[in-house]
Amino acid sequence: MKLIIAMIQPHKLPDVKKALYGAEVFKMTVTNALGCGQQKGYTETYRGVIHEVNLLKKVRLEIAVNEDFVEPTIKAIIKGSRSGKIGDGKIFVLDLPECIRIRTGERGGYAIG
């Protein structure tokens, strides 16, 4: 089992969701996140004053999957979020030692699916 964490552009979320549905990945957790990578920030203007916004708004996706879904999930996230420009985001893949469905007490791969 793996936990896939992706940081993407907020406005790419609809496309990523669509691509994930296409790959039959229906379960995910989505949170707002702030952060910066290579892009470092952008400028906003407020009443004529230019200021650097250092931490950018990102969306953080967390998806727990069984091994055979790892590559399709990664591909779907890239398909939905890639624009080719700086700021597209990152995907982290972590080992996931255990997963428990609270309602039934199921464990492991059954609990994820």
Partner 1 sequence: METIYASNIGIDTLWVLIAAFLVFFMQAGFGMVEAGFIRAKNACNILTKNFLDFCMASIGFFIFGYAIMFGRGNSFMGLQGWFLSGAQSAAPVPLFAFWLFQAAFCGAAATIVAGGMAERMKFSAYLVYSFIISAFIYPVVGHWIWGGGWLAKLNFIDFAGSTVVHTVGGFAALIGTIILKPRIGKYNSDKSANAIAGHNIPLASLGVFILWFGWFGFNPGSTLSVGNGNLIARVAINTNLAAASGGILAMFTIWKMFGKPDLSMAMNGALAGLVAITAPCAFIDPWAAITIGIVAGIIVVLGVVLLDRLNIDDPVGAVSVHGINGVWGTLAIGLFGKQALGLANNGLFYGGGLKQLGVQLLGVTAVIIFILITMGIVFKLIDATIGLRVSREEELRGLDIGEHGMESYAGFQVFVTE
Which residue ranges make up the site for partner 1 (CB under 8 A)? 10-14, 30, 32, 34, 44-46, 57, 59, 83
Alpha-carbon torsion angle 44, 49, 54, 58, nearest 10: -20
By C-beta, is 75 or 83 nearer to partner 1?
A: 83
Nearer to partner 1, 83 or 109 (CB): 83
Q: Specify whether the CB–CB gap between 101 and 91 falls below 8 A.
A: no
CB of 1 to partner 1, least distance (A): 27
DSSP 8-state secondary structure symbol assigned to residue 110? H
Name the DSSP letter for residue 75: H
Question: 45 or 104, CB closer to partner 1?
Answer: 45
